[in-house]
Amino acid sequence: MTLDSPRQGRSIPPRRATLACLPALVLALACSEEVEPPLEVPPDLSTDAERVAISPAEYSTEMAFVGFAPRPVRLFARFVHQTSEKYLERSYGGWLESGGSWQPLAPLRDRLPVPRAAWRVLPGGPWRVMAAKGGEVAGLVYRDASSEFRLTPGELVAEWTGETGQREALLLAQVQQGDSLQNGLLVLRRSARLRTEASEGTAPNPGSDSLPASNVVGLRAQLFLLVDSLNNGLLVARDADDPDSTAIAWTWVGSIANEWTDVLVQPPEDVSRALARWLVELPEAGITARFRMEPLPEDSAAGGLRNERIPHPFAIQGRLEILGNEQPASGLGVESRS
C-alpha cells in the first residue's frame, strides 16, 4: 500500500479535508445538504428496451457508526449489488448494538432490473434511503418489528480518494432511536469491482496479518475505528499484507481533525487467537490505543454479509489514551480485499 506523505499532524478544515490515495480501501463520501428521500425504487431502473450489455460487477456500500457514549450505539450496515446482463442481485444486512447487546438487522436479498447507476443503494424491505442529487447516500432509515433507527451523516472530518477514483470519508453523524439521539463518528465506504473467474480464485497472503474470517480471499486493507465518551475518535488504516508499508491515521480530538503518517501498529503475535490484543501508537500526537477484536454474530449471514469475497466486521473494545488521559473506547474493525 503506497501513500503520498502528508505532513504529520496537519489540521484539517472539517468540511474541506482532502487526503492521499489509499489503495484497497474504497470509501465514498455520502453526505449532502440537498437531500431528497425516495420511498420507492427510483425511476432510473432500465427497461428491456434500454438495457445494454455490461460486464458482471460487484458494488458494495458500507456504513460503520460508533457513538460518543459510555455504552455507545454501534452500527454496521453493508449493501452489496451484483450485476449481470439480465438483472441486479442485491444483498442488504448488518448489525446494531444498543444497550450492550448486538441485534442482526433483517436481511434483504432479491433481484431487480439493472439500473443505470448500479452502485446506488436502493430502498427495499425495512430499508429506506435518503439520497442526494447525485445518488449518494445522505441518510438511512431502518424499521422492522424489533428495532428502528435513523442514521444521518453530518460534518466532514476527512476524505480521501481510493484507487478506483471514488471518495472515502470519515464524518460526524447521528443515530436516532425513538426519542434517543446519539452523536458519533461514521465511516462510509464504497467499492466497485469486476467479477472474474481469476479474482474468484485469489488466495490470501499466508504470511499476512489478516484477521480470522471464514473463506475470505484476497485480504489486504484493515480499518480500525475507535471512539471514547469524550467525543474523541481515531481511525487507522493499514495494509495487512505489507507490515512495512505506511499506515495512516485520522483523529478527531477536541473538535479538531488531524491526519498522521507517524503511526505504529503492533498486531498480536497470533491474530487468529480470539480477543488478541492490538496496539496502535501515534507518538507525535501523544495518542495510544490498546484494543481487542471479536467477530460480530453471524446471524445476518443469510443477508449476504459473509461470503467468500466479503470480509466480516469485528467489534472493538479497548482503551484510548490521549496526552496521558486514558478512557474506555469502543469501535469497529473491517478488513478489505484488494
Residue 212: pLDDT over 50: no
Complete DSSP assignment for 68-83: SSSS--EEEEEEEEEE
pLDDT averaged over every residue in the chain: 77
Q: Is the pLDDT of residue 10 over 50?
A: no
Residue 292 in grid coordinates: 481487542
Q: Band of the pLDDT at 286, cuts 50, 70, 90?
A: very high
pLDDT at 246 over 70: yes
Kindly state the percentage of the chain with pLDDT values over 90.
Answer: 46
pLDDT by residue (tens digit) across 190-201? 888 887 644 444
Q: What is the pLDDT of residue 54?
A: 61
Number of Cβ within a 10 Å radius of residue 227: 27
Is-contact 76 297, C-beta < 8 A? no
67 or 131: which carries more pLDDT confidence?
Answer: 67
Residue 204's pLDDT band, with cuts at 50, 70 and 90, is very low
* Residue 330: closest CA among 137, 115, 98: 98
Q: Which of 142-146, 271-275, 334-338 has the highest mean pLDDT?
A: 142-146
Q: Which has the minimum average pLDDT: 16-30, 33-47, 216-230?
A: 16-30
Contact 273, 297 (CB under 8 A): no
**Distance between CA atoms of 219 and 208, rounded to whole angstroms?**
9
Neighbouring residues of 318: CB distance < 8 A, sequence distance ≥ 6: 226, 278, 289, 290, 291, 292, 328, 329, 331
- pLDDT single digits (tens) 141-189: 999 988 899 999 999 999 976 555 667 899 999 999 999 999 999 999 8
Which one, of 266, 260, 257, lies nearest residue 282 by Cα? 260
Please report the pLDDT score of residue 221 as a whole number: 77
pLDDT tens track for 42-99: 444 444 434 444 678 888 889 999 999 999 999 999 999 999 888 999 999 999 998 7
Apex CA 58: angle with CA 55 and CA 60, to 5°? 150
